[in-house]
Amino acid sequence: MNEERDEYDPVYALAATSQGTLFAGRRSGLFRSGDGVAWASLPVDLLIGREPSITALAGAPAGDVVFAGGYGCVVRLTTGDMQQRVSVLPRPLPLVTALVVSPDYARDGVVLAGTAEDGVFRSTDRGERWTPWNIGLLDHHIIDLAISPMFAVDETVFAATETGVFFSINGGRSWRTSAFPSDNDPVQCLAVSSGLAYDVAVYAGTESGALLISRDQGRSWRTATGIATGGQPINALACVADTTLIIGLADRLLLIDDVLSPHPGVIREIHHPGITTLVGVAPTPGALVAIIGGADGRINRWRLR
């Protein structure tokens, strides 16, 4: 286990590029690591004063581009030469809480940004210009976004909000309400199975500790059975294989296998207080490593397989 400590410097977001480079968004700014152990600060000129906080991160699935979001702006970072391009979002300046990049980014250049009070912004020119697209979105408090791995075909995006999940089937330009159980419980995080095209599984973790699963591309949801969260908020989710899920609870980490079966198996359970975000990476075939960010500023690396 390795860690990076900094008091009052919570980790808001983590992202991994296809080349294996890791990025962490913290209150104190953007950090970069090659192995998840040693982290180096990356100075980012956010243009706008206040704090240099990076509150959202997303890497393009192929290539060396990472997007980082903060207060009122999104930074496009080319990891090879570390070039930065800052785009300011339309006024009133929103706080970016989530970012997703189209799996077909190289061709369509689509990036979506979820914000704390202003709904979803969409860019079709690799993050240069942003337009709010909130038609049908009845809750503008976006906590997380998830994008279909088949986005180039189905244009499906999911938005987690304080009152449930919304989904879009036109690339995030208009939104529909999901039939969501648990009385519109705030949804803290989303994860999409990489095999969405055939197993159609989307996962949502709620503030009250419920893990919800949708098998019809977000239209309806059911509560997953057999996963004991003890009512702890689910703060982070990562779907690493089609049916393997890493769940970041407020006090521990769960590795769940065969999550779609009626009796999913908890393979590992690791005590880890204050998880805020996580990302799953496979440094070698068959291996699985979880990089975990915490509210206390730690970034830990756990080998799960």
Partner 1 sequence: MFRRPHILFQPAARRHFLRGAQRMVAVLRPTLGPFPRGVLVMPERGIGREPEWLDSGGLIARRMVQLADAYADPGAMFVRHMVWRLHEDVGDGTATAAVMFLELLEQGMRYVAAGGDPALLRRHLLSMTESICAALAAQAMPLEGRQQMMNVAESICSDSSIATALGEVFAIIGAEGCLDVQSGLRPGVEREYVEGMVYESALMSPRFPSDDIPRSIELERAALVISDLEVGSPRDILPAMEAALAVEAQALVLIADRLSDEAHSVLEVNRRRGALPSFAVRVPGLRRDEQIAALEDIAALTGGTPLRRESGASLAAVTPDQLGRVRRAWANTTHFGLARGGGEPRALRSRVDALRCAFEIVDNPSIRRDLQQRIGRLTGGAAVVRICGATAAETSARIALTQRTADVLRSALRSGVAPGGGAALLVSRPAAPAVGIDSAERAACLMWRRALAAPARVIAANAGYDDDAMINTLDSLPAGYGLDVRSGGLTDMRCAGVLDSVDVLIAAVRTAGGSAALVLTIEAQVYRRSPPVSVAP
Instruction: Provide the binding-site residues for partner 1, judged by CB under 8 A.
Output: 91-92, 117-119, 132-141, 161-163, 169-170, 173-174, 176-177, 184
Instruction: Provide the sign of the torsion angle of the four alpha carbons 296, 33, 72, 56, taken in this order.
Output: negative
Respond yes or no on whether the N-terminal peptide bond of residue 92 is cis (omega within 30° of 0).
yes
Exposed, middle or buried: residue 198 (CB in 10 Å: 0-12, 13-18, 19+)? exposed
Closest CB 257 distance from partner 1, rounded Å: 35
Residue 105 has φ and ψ, to the nearest 5°, of -55, -40
Other Cβ atoms within 10 Å of 107 Cβ, number: 9
* Strand pairing category for 164-168 and 176-177: antiparallel
Q: Which is nearer to partner 1, 3 or 104 (by Cβ)? A: 104
Beta-bridged to residue 26, according to DSSP, are 11, 29
Q: Which is nearer to partner 1, 34 or 136 (CB)?
A: 136
User: Least distance (Å) from partner 1 to the CB of residue 93?
Assistant: 9
Is 184 or 232 the residue whose CB approaches partner 1 more closely? 184
Q: Which is nearer to partner 1, 39 or 133 (CB)?
A: 133
**Nearest CB to partner 1, comparing residues 176 and 268:** 176
Instruction: Measure CA of the first residue to CA of the last residue in the chain; give whole Å.
Output: 14
